[in-house]
Amino acid sequence: MRNEKDQIRRVNVSPKKFFEYAKNNNIDVYEMHKILPIEILNQFITGPQKFPSGQMPMMKKNKCFICNKKTCWLDKIHGLYMCSEQCRDIIDERYNNGEDFEPHPIYVKLCDSIMEEFEENE
């Protein structure tokens, strides 16, 4: 089982409060979730993240990692196709319990192309 800091938590946060806290405490916004205790991070939560928030709609459908139903939703965290909140929750639970996943090749290709573009623009 992964420790609490490394577990997936699908929540919405208040960006204003989040950024203000970072600025007032001289903390890099991108590092906050790594260095602050859960108790402090919890004050920014506004509610659960609903499906398909956190997923990218893809033009080409593929099979859901859990139930094999055709879907266009590719998850931004795991890089897996998923068709519903229930399937997403199963994947997150398995991940939180220590299972690692091989991201879908389309996700890998997408990430690689983004990194290439980023490196070209540096």
Residue range of the domain that includes 75: 55-120
Q: With a threshold of 0.85, does the pTM exceed it?
A: no
Q: Do 115 and 65 share a domain, yes or no?
A: yes
Tally of domains in the chain: 2
Distance, in Å, from the CA atom of 113 to the CA atom of 90, rounded to the nearest integer, reads 29
Q: Do 69 and 29 share a domain, yes or no?
A: no
pLDDT tens string, the chain, 122 residues long: the values are 887 778 888 888 888 998 899 999 998 887 887 788 888 888 999 999 999 988 999 999 999 999 999 999 999 999 999 999 999 999 999 999 999 999 999 999 988 888 888 787 76
Distance, in Å, from the CA atom of 95 to the CA atom of 103, rounded to the nearest integer, reads 13
Q: Do 75 and 115 share a domain, yes or no?
A: yes
Distance, in Å, from the CA atom of 108 to the CA atom of 92, rounded to the nearest integer, reads 19
Read off the tokens for 42. Answer: 């919890």
Distance, in Å, from the CA atom of 77 to the CA atom of 9, rounded to the nearest integer, reads 11
Distance, in Å, from the CA atom of 84 to the CA atom of 68, rounded to the nearest integer, reads 11
